Amino acid sequence: MKILVCISNVPDTTTKIKFTDNNTAFDQAGVQWIINPWDELALTRALDIKDAQAGMVEEITVINVGLAATEPTIRKALAIGADKGIRINAEPKDAFTVASQLADVISKESFDIILCGIESSDSNGNNVGGMLSELLDMPSVSSVSHFDIKDGKVELKREIDGGQETVSTPIPFVGIVQKGIAKEPRIPSMRGIMGARTKPLQVIEAIQTETLTEFATYDLPKPKAACKKIDPDNVKELVQLLHNEAKVI
């Protein structure tokens, strides 16, 4: 089987978020970029399956829609263990554009399993995986917290509100994965980092696409009023405040 993992290039989660141009653009100055955490977990799970079942997974490819500056992130995915990388040379303007670019490339290849993280930590969209599956006219399973291949068949568990379901799907399909799919993301080894330099990273020129949405302006959350501290010897006061002042209990 051939697995494709779609990866997003996002600011490190500890980045201080600032905006420029009258709050219309994210200020990228000094930002460290990483693989989107959910995408990294998806890649980790794909690698775990490949390692556990020799011969079952033929190849793992990572794909990213981004300009040249995202290549270090793709190289990191190669260092973690992906076999090859693809970068579609386009600015990821909105989720529909990204999904359209991905769909165009994927439809010309033959991937059996396409994995996406459930959201990216920058736009928090939950969009691309579902949009991609619809553009490719493939089944999709979302909120996937476990994924395995047994006897050539795909087994998934997905989270529902109030429980979990075991789902089967034919291939090809799009799996939209969340927390639980892998415990910890893999850390590249020194050998992996050295090897990543020579792994293939193909750059594909973008097609013409359109956007359906635009992040027009940004706001920072209003600063919160200072925390009201209560004496640890007077816990009763806290409960009274929650009842009488905050009116939440």
Partner 1 sequence: MSVLVYTENWDGKFKKLSFELVSFACEIAKTLNTNVVALSIGKVNDDELNKLGTYGASKILNVQNENLINLNNQAYTSVLAQAAAKEGATLIVFAHNNTGKAIAPRLSVRLKAGLATGVLALPSNFQPFTIAKKVFTAKAIANVVIKTPVSIVTLLQNAFGVFETPVAASIEAFNPEIKDNELKTEVKDVNKVSGKILLTDAEIVVSGGRGMKGPENWGSIEELATLLGAGTACSRPVSDEGWRPHEEHTGQTGKILAPNLYIACGISGAIQHLGGISGSKCIVAINKDPDAPIFEAADYGIVGDVLKVLPEMITAVKELKGN
The interface region with partner 1, picked from 72-80, 105-113, 115-123, 199-207 by CB under 8 A, is 115-123
The interface region with partner 1, picked from 83-91, 114-122, 186-194, 200-208 by CB under 8 A, is 114-122
Residue nearer to partner 1 on the CB measure, 197 or 243: 243
Residue nearer to partner 1 on the CB measure, 40 or 81: 40
The interface with partner 1 within residues 229-248 (CB under 8 A) comprises 229-232, 235-236, 238-243, 246, 248
Residue nearer to partner 1 on the CB measure, 31 or 193: 31
Residue span 174-213 as binding mask against partner 1, x where in contact by CB under 8 A, dash where not: --x-xxx--xx--------------------------xxx
**Cβ pair 63, 141 in contact under 8 A:** no
Number of residues that bind partner 1 (CB under 8 A): 83
The interface with partner 1 within residues 119-178 (CB under 8 A) comprises 121-131, 133-135, 139-143, 145, 158-170, 173, 176, 178
**Cβ pair 25, 160 in contact under 8 A:** no
Q: How far apart are CA 123 and CA 143, in angstroms?
A: 18
Q: How far apart are CA 65 and CA 131, in angstroms?
A: 15
The interface region with partner 1, picked from 48-56, 60-68, 77-85, 117-125 by CB under 8 A, is 117-125
- For 112, counting Cβ atoms within 10 Å of its Cβ (0-12 exposed, 13-18 middle, 19+ buried), the class is middle
The interface with partner 1 within residues 55-94 (CB under 8 A) comprises none
> Which residue among 46, 95, 98, 114 contacts partner 1 (CB under 8 A)?
95
The interface with partner 1 within residues 30-59 (CB under 8 A) comprises 37-38, 41
The interface region with partner 1, picked from 12-20, 44-52, 79-87, 200-208 by CB under 8 A, is 12-20
Radius of gyration of the chain measured on its C-alpha atoms: 21
Question: 3-state DSSP call for residue 141?
Answer: strand
DSSP-assigned letter for residue 176: E
First to last CA, the chain: 54
Task: Take residue 101 and report the two structure tokens written for it.
Answer: 């670019």
Alpha-helical runs (H) found in 61-177: 71-80, 95-106, 128-136
Q: How far apart are CA 212 and CA 214, in angstroms?
A: 7
